[in-house]
Chain A
Amino acid sequence: MSLRIGVDTGGTFTDVVAFDDVTQHVHVRKVSSTPDDPGRAILRGVSEILDQIGGRNISEVNYFAHGTTVGTNTLLTGNGVLTGLITTEGFRDLLELGRGRRPDMYDARADKPAPFVARRHRFEVAERLRSTGEVERELDEGEVREAARQLKSAGVEAVAVCLLYSYVDPKHERRIADIIREEHPEAYVSLSSEVLPEFREYERLSTVVTNAYVGPVVYRYLAALREKLAAEGLTAVPHITQSNGGVIPFATAEAMPVRLVLSGPSTGVVGAAQICSAAGFDDIITFDMGGTSSDISLVQGGRPKVTSGMELDGRPIRSPMLDIHTVGAGGGSLGWIDTGGHLRVGPESAGAFPGPACYGNGERAAVTDANVVLQMLNPEYLLNGQMKIDREKSVDAVRRLADPLGLSVEETALGILRVVTANMARALRVVSVQKGYDPRDYALVPFGGAGPLHASRLARELGMSRVVVPEIPGAQSAMGLLMTDVKADFMRTRITSLTHETASQVANVFAELSAEAAAWFAEEDVAEEGRRLVRRLDLRYAGQNFELPVEMPEELGEDGMEVIAQAFHAEHERVYGYSSPEARLEAVTFRVEAQGSAPRVELRHSELGGEDPSGAAIGTRETCFDPKEGFRSITVYDRSKLMPGNVVQGPAVVEQMDTTTILLPGDRCVVDSLRNLVITIGEEA
């Protein structure tokens, strides 16, 4: 009787996945996105999938989760609201001074990101705390009131407040919030001590300003969507993805939109982690390749790696998030020849329009055109026939590069693939080798429209021996929405020397945060048995100015501090190659991640059948793997007809609605009991 629905809004498509609790079936629907009003595509997709399942009603939906890039897009396009700032006297320019670096070392023309608050809307007020929390100068409330009035008359819709040391004592920020609410009650007010009670003033300031700037936009979007869904008859509480890979109810998200802004690719990773864990692969590197970029992240022991922040367009955002690295390499990335005569690919992309040459509107060769030329991709149509392909256009486009290079069309097409593979390999090394992980110990898990097409080549480039392609790679993020938890993060900076004497202080801070988490669980109605807390402590050697997070044991016993110290030394050794067991340790930021189980899709294993895949063979295709050998005929399989237990020997192509998996010569692919394609990379090619 009940259904669970995940809706992921992307730039081109809105993916809808529905899981039927009764039949235990997963249904997938793709509709075109409607960027002017994303809700339209969402409602259409939901209505279509209900019909597809067989005339079901939205009132049967007992769980609804949504992933959106509305926050990210607001930031990238600069379409947030007019925002003001109130800060400590002497520091209004911090927002643009940042850490003092210029944006590009060698490009004198590169611009700094325009601050989200104009200088004229940044007000300083007399007040000053010291690092201990001692008040050196009392807050001048008259100045605050005057600033609030001026901000109101300037027409600002949101006000960010960020004072020095507010993470130690938020009282001045809170008092400022009261005054703003009196003077400008309609304003969306955002306090740095609430959004990010962590030290380092610039990062905290940038984060709270971002939160204020996107706040009203996200708030309106979610409120409107909530209303529309309710009007359609949805009774379940709608949930939304956060950058940390978990979901929270819409209403909770409205207060802390900055925690949504990098949520786009996160559930895809969460879903992949669960699917692969169930399939026996706990250590994976996900590779989500779309039209303009690829997102890469590392999953260790079944858990995605998290980080506490990143930069978006040059502006730091500190917020708990999955550690996802993006590189400008996608199916639409364009090939070009530089002034030294080298073939380069990307980061310029053909985008949705004109798109690759084979779509008929563009002249320049994209990665997709290279795949069409070599017939890695179906040279006639994609998306089950919804998208016509003109191979001649691809050939012409690639030839424009081939002639000046003095190479054949096929050599050039292969060259494009090799160069883009090298670019992606470089990005993959960033999340693995540069963080102390050897990619050869991981399975590569491709998804997105173009991931499975390039995975085998990428795995070879990095010496990885295993690729696992999930069942629905084209709607992985929507799928992940049905496989994630409700999740909230609580943190606080308390710089504390780590010794036996301070054990109780450490325990107290965690107790405070755990109490906040407990209150949140109660508010969200998370069942007692489904609650889980992960406690992390950011530590450093005294005298250093960067921290490493260490996961805390469940219970801190007598030797608790010792256990923590050992864990830190070990982590330091792993990441930096050495540790200093004799050095003094400092605890810096305390973190509690609260997870509550949401209803999840149960993954069902099927019986393995015979190895013979011929039942899924739907034809052959002439494909070129090596220009010296020319085109050779390979078998094309229909993914939906491949059965668990089937074995496919490369070279071969596996087609499904929204993606194509290429097995290079020597690859061996087994369909596992979860219908994943588990590919063992061959020695040759």
Chain B
Amino acid sequence: MTTSARATGQLDPVIVEVVGSALSTIVEEMGETLVKAAFSPNIKERRDCTAGLFDAEGLALAQDEGGSPMHLGSLMGIVGAIRGRFSEADIREGDVFIGNDPYTGGGSHLPDIVLASPIFVGGRISAWAATLAHHADFGDRGHAHIFQEAIRIPPVHLVREGVQQEELLSLILLNCQIPEERTADLRAQEAALGVAITRYQELCSRYGVDVIEGVSSNLLDYTERRTRAAITEFPDGEYTFEDLFDAPELDEELTLRVRIRISGDEMLFDFSGNPPQVRASVNVVWTGLYATVYYTLKTLIDPDIVPNAGLYRPVTIVADEGSILNCTAPAAVNGRIETCQRVVDLIHGALVDALPERVTAASNGAVTGVHFSGHDASRGRDFVYLETIGGGSGACHDKDGLDGVQVHMTNTSNLPVESLEAEYPLVVESYELIEDSGGVGRHRGGMGIRRKIRVEAPDVHFWLDTSRQKSQPWGLFGGGPGQSARCVLSEDAQPVDHGYTVLQPGQTASIETAGGGGYGPPEERAEAQLAADRADGRISEATAQQCRQD
């Protein structure tokens, strides 16, 4: 620490910017390497992964932003967990640690497997590198508690001083449903760590380890300054909001709430008083809650801000242990992202009066996932098709919400129809925006999506994850709510129960996602925009009339 402090004194903002850019390049390269070397489509194409660099103490220095925002901050506990578990003597050059347990230092649910390595410079640990990837394994599981969801791995040595721990690996792989894919994807994660170690050591030999460590600590201060500068502009005060949350797994809607206090250059996010954790997959472990708050803060403050530990400093997050937003073992967590989506809307809702020009009305509020699996006799194999479908985003003070996009905590791509029909016994009958699904308003909420899929094989298992089927995404300042989500099956099909049914050849599932809320009174909508929406079939004649009359 003393060397860093000494170096810090001599650093000008140019070297901090230049080396900071180099550190960001390292995490970008880690992300690229991981995505390139991975095998499974979930990592390779949907980019459900991230990579980060940490200082010797485990403070986040830089994180790859190409992946899902759900991972922003998901890695923050990992270095601390390793250091808490192993003595200094037991952490050596060439070690790689593996873990996935959200309760003992993994990601925010079990499919997120984390690999981390110390980076040694001159015989001591100067930094840490970590990668996290969502391994799309562990299908067809129960979600009453975490033991049903997948194997739990605390942070342990996968590699000791360069030697792969084969016995451990074989234990892990025996618990995976597609072990070949896991092997390739884990290898990709290790390759990304290798890139980080090489590049970081190159930087140290070029600038000197003291300068790099000094820059690292400066970068945290820098992000902290930018964060505080932004928060200072927010009006002080206490802001609260509550909203309903539903999921196919839950029998009842839950009320979620937040209290936000802005004072000077600091913010408190108080999630006290939320419902206790549930016997379902939608519980959120603390790293998941933190990731959600940091994502939201970054979008509200400055999308360009570097997400390092400096962002965390002016922010305090509180939630009751054992509640749905800060669950404890053995709560199941697999579907935590549905809940996190609602938390983003909660924060926007709370800050409406403080930041009316920065927040948006509620977005579709879900990560709508559809999952078809079964046996495909014509191709002679089993199949699993998973897709997430976007919806409307909320309108803001000066523009409409976006029609048909992934919002907030996720941003994955769909699979082209021409790919999926060639691979699976499924036919996409339509993929379209839903008329009148966006909330009316001076600025209209974004439209939801309808994706209608026909099944061509017998006994196809169908699961649906979504939210906002029972409530509607709210509008702001007189703007109307977006339309709810729903799933419509062909008449002869067995109804969906708790998100599950079995479909037969010729039957269809039409999945509709929610629209976003509108912003401002609908009568203030410009006539030209109303006319355009009407001509483009985004709203019905009835809706157009209603807006004109209001």
Question: Interface of A with B (CB < 8 Å)?
Answer: 89-94, 96-97, 99-102, 104-109, 111-112, 118-120, 130-131, 164-165, 199-203, 338-344, 405-407, 411-412, 414-415, 418-419, 422-423, 425-426, 429, 433-434, 495, 544-546, 575-578, 580
Contacts and interface: CB of A to CB of B under 8 A. Distances in A.
Contact of B69 (A106, A109, A342, A412): A106
Given A97-B433, A102-B393, A405-B13, 10 more contacts: A90-B431, A91-B430, A91-B432, A100-B412, A101-B413, A102-B402, A105-B69, A341-B225, A343-B17, A577-B36
B2 interface: no
B39 interface: yes
Contacts of B415: 545
Contact of B412 (A101, A131, A577): A101
A617 B22 CA distance: 38
Given A90-B430, A434-B29, A342 B416 contact: no
B299 A107 contact: yes
A660 to B, nearest CB: 23
Contact of A344 (B17, B404, B407, B429): B17
A107 B411 CA distance: 12
A174 to B, nearest CB: 19
Contacts of A100: 388-390, 404-406, 412-414
Interface size for chain B: under 10, 10 to 19, 20 to 34, or 35 or more residues?
35 or more
Interface stretch (B136-144, B482-490, B519-527, B533-541): B533-541
Contacts of B37: 576-578
A545 B45 contact: yes
Contact of A200 (B20, B389, B416): B416
Interface in B384-421: 388-390, 393, 396, 399, 402-407, 411-419, 421
Interface of B: 12-14, 16-18, 20-22, 25, 28-29, 32-33, 36-37, 39, 41, 44-45, 65, 69, 184, 187-188, 191, 222-223, 225-226, 229-230, 295, 298-299, 302-304, 360, 388-390, 393, 396, 399, 402-407, 411-419, 421-422, 427-433, 449, 452, 535-538
Given A101-B406, A108-B299, A544 B41 contact: yes
Given A91-B430, A105-B65, A419 B399 contact: no
A109 B39 contact: no
Q: Which 10 A-B pairs have the closest CB atoms?
A: A90-B430, A415-B14, A106-B303, A119-B536, A340-B226, A107-B303, A102-B405, A100-B414, A99-B413, A340-B222
Contacts of B538: 119
A163 to B, nearest CB: 11
B29 A407 contact: no
B405 A93 contact: no
B442 to A, nearest CB: 16
B181 to A, nearest CB: 9
Contacts of B429: 90
Contacts of A338: 226, 304
Nearest to A119: B536
A94 B403 CA distance: 12
A578 B187 contact: yes
Given A407-B12, A419-B18, A91 B191 contact: no
Contacts of A580: 184
Contacts of B36: 434, 575-577
Nearest to B307: A106
Nearest to A165: B418
Contact of B417 (A201, A340, A495): A201
A200 B418 contact: yes
Contacts of B432: 90-93, 97
Given A340-B222, A544-B41, A199 B418 contact: yes
B413 A112 contact: no
Contact of B396 (A104, A108, A414): A108
A104 B33 CA distance: 22
Contacts of B393: 102, 108
Nearest to A91: B431
B190 to A, nearest CB: 10
A426 B406 CA distance: 28
Contact of A101 (B184, B389, B411): B411
Nearest to B68: A105
A101 B412 CA distance: 6
B505 to A, nearest CB: 14
A93 B411 contact: no
B419 to A, nearest CB: 6
Contacts of B303: 104-107
A343 B15 CA distance: 10
B268 to A, nearest CB: 22
Contact of B45 (A419, A546, A575): A546
Contacts of A576: 36-37
Contact of A201 (B304, B396, B407, B416): B416
A419 B13 CA distance: 10
Contacts of B299: 106-108
Nearest to B206: A463
A661 B126 CA distance: 40
Contacts of A106: 65, 69, 295, 298-299, 303-304
9 contacts: A97-B432, A108-B360, A109-B396, A118-B536, A120-B537, A339-B226, A342-B17, A412-B14, A418-B18
A629 B31 CA distance: 41
Nearest to A436: B36
B404 A97 contact: yes
Which of A340, A495, A544: most chain B Cβ within 10 A? A340
A422 B21 contact: yes
B390 to A, nearest CB: 5
Contact of A93 (B17, B32, B388, B433): B433
Nearest to A495: B422
B433 A426 contact: no
Contacts of A340: 222-223, 225-226, 229
Nearest to A582: B180
